[in-house]
Amino acid sequence: MVESKISNSVRNVDLYFGPFVDRRVAAFHVNRKRRNLFLTVTDLTGAVIGSSSAKLFASDRKKRFAPHIIELVVRQLVVILKAYRIASVRLFLKVSKSFIVRPTVRALKANGVIFTMIMDLLPKPHNGCRRRKRRRL
C-alpha cells in the first residue's frame, strides 16, 4: 500500500546541490503543528525533494503522534532518499516532545540513514510580550 503512493511521488529531476556541496547529503526537517506532524526532505539549498505528514496514515488526531504512524511516514520518505541515492542526512528538529523525536530517530536508523548532524531549531522562550495594563475599577 505504501509503495504505490511512494512511486508516484518520486520525480526524475536533477537537483541542484550547489557547486561545492556533496550530492549525497540532504536535510531532514521534523516539524509539528497543532494537530499534525510534517516531515520534509530538502537538498542543502532548501529545495524540497519530498514531504509527508501523519495525516496520510491516521485520520484520528490522537493517533497521529503514535510511534507506528511516525515510522510509516519516515519509511515513505526513506524510499525517496534511496531513489535519489542520498546516503546521509542532517536532521533539523522543530519539536520539543521526546515522544516524537525518539521514534523518528529510531525509524531513520532502522532504515539505514546516517546522520551527519542533529540540530534543534526550537525558538527559545523570552518571557513573552508585555501584558496588558490591569483594568481599574
Pairing of strands 88-94, 114-120: parallel
* Per-residue pLDDT tens over the stretch 3-44: 444 444 444 455 555 554 566 888 999 888 878 888 899 988
51: pLDDT strictly greater than 70: yes
Query: Is residue 41 within 8 Å of residue 89, measured between CB atoms?
Result: yes
Asked if residues 36 and 55 have their Cβ atoms less than 8 Å apart, the reply is: yes
Residues 6+ apart with CB under 8 A from 95: 30, 31, 32, 37, 101, 122
In angstroms, the CA 28 to CA 108 distance is: 10
Q: Which strand (E) or helix (H) includes residue 3? A: helix 2-9
| Domain boundaries, given as residue ranges, for the chain | 22-120
Domain 22-120 grouped into CATH 3.30.420.80: yes
Which pairs with CB-CB distance under 8 Å and at least 24 residues apart come from 5-14? 5/56, 5/76, 6/76, 6/79, 6/80, 9/50, 9/80, 10/50, 10/79, 10/80, 10/83
The per-residue pLDDT for range 95-135, each reduced to its tens digit, is 877 888 888 889 989 999 998 888 988 888 788 888 889 88
What single string gives the DSSP state of each residue in 83-118? HTT--EEEEEEE---HHHHHHHHHHHHHTTPEEEEE
